[in-house]
Amino acid sequence: MNDYHGEVKKVIMIVLILNIIMATLKIGYGVYSGILSISADGYDSLLDSLANIVAYIAVSLSSRPEDKNHPYGYAKIEAFASILIGISLIIVSYEIISQAFDKFLHPQTLEISTVGFIIMITTLLINIALSRYELKKGKQLKSDLLIADSDHTKSDVLVTSIVIFGLILVRFNLSIMDPIISIIIALIIIKTGIEILKNNFNILLDANVMPTANIYNIVYKIDGIDNIHNVRTRGTTSNVYIDMHMVVSSDLTVKEAYQKACLVKKNLIDEYDEVKDVIIQIESEEGIYDAKDLK
């Protein structure tokens, strides 16, 4: 297993342990006190834990090397795992909204203790630290999964902040705010889930994963290349595959043109660690034609 997958799994394991602790504290106190917003936040943390387990398994599978049937490797398994996270967020949001409406129909008098505030403030600080840690490691490792989970953890920070605000209102005998806050939490979670789904469906649909301007900047530093076009990228942010058409002078021999293409590939892979392969179609400046002409 390479360093990338080992580092990603290490981050996931740290996050998993902390999410289990936070979920246990929030659900336990939420059930004990009857405060739905705390329970909702706890279920969100519990779902985070399950998502971490799925992510850990996905990273383990995606670390498998390329084989005959999977020449591009298994990196996109991370995108599938992220999609499962997005779907699970939407499902748990539905459950929270259902319970909130039940609270409206059957209102209760709620009491919040100092212990409740301590639990929520502590978990808030943990989530802030986790979000920053995951984002930093996600960018460093170019892991779509860690970045997606960091975005979700940011929503957890907002959710817990709203819960704390709601608890203050409950302290002032505004118990009706508990289901209202719970619905707000659910909507925030839904928004995060949709964003995660959108980003990772783009990966599975082979949307561009790298700005083409970066590629042009590298290629045009090489003498003898007149033009590049039809530049496309696909894969994940940690595994990028590039293909392009490269126009060279008609004066170049086949060997010289091939050497230019090899240099382009080498420079792109050297400049960007995430670039795994570059496929180049060589064209002569006097022989460019559209593929449609062959039909």
Instruction: Give residue limits of the domains in the chain.
Output: 3-204, 212-294
Q: How far is CA 18 from the centre of its chain?
A: 19
Q: What is the mean pLDDT of the chain?
A: 84
Domain 212-294: what homologous superfamily? Cation efflux protein, cytoplasmic domain (3.30.70.1350)
Tens of pLDDT, residue by residue over 262-276, are 999 999 999 888 888
Question: Under a CB-based contact definition with an 8 Å cutoff, are residues 124 and 159 in contact?
Answer: no
Burial class (CB in 10 A: 0-12, 13-18, 19+), 213: exposed
- What pLDDT shows up at residue 288? 56
Tens of pLDDT, residue by residue over 115-140, are 888 999 999 999 999 999 999 998 88
Tens of pLDDT, residue by residue over 186-238, are 888 888 889 889 988 988 888 888 888 889 988 888 887 888 899 999 988 77
Task: Between 104 and 246, name the one with better pLDDT.
Answer: 246
Q: Can you tell me the distance from the alpha carbon of 251 to that of 232, in angstroms, rounded to the nearest whole number?
A: 27
Fold of 3-204: Alpha-lytic protease prodomain-like (1.20.1510)
SS (H, E, C) the chain: CCHHHHHHHHHHHHHHHHHHHHHHHHHHHHHHHCCHHHHHHHHHHHHHHHHHHHHHHHHHHHCCCCCCCCCCCCCCHHHHHHHHHHHHHHHHHHHHHHHHHHHHHCCCCCCCCHHHHHHHHHHHHHHHHHHHHHHHHHHHHCCHHHHHHHHHHHHHHHHHHHHHHHHHHHHCCCCCHHHHHHHHHHHHHHHHHHHHHHHHHHHHCCCCCCCHHHHHHHHCCCCCEEEEEEEEEEEECCEEEEEEEEEECCCCCHHHHHHHHHHHHHHHHHHCCCEEEEEEEEEECCCCCCHHHHC
Q: In residues, how long is the chain?
A: 295
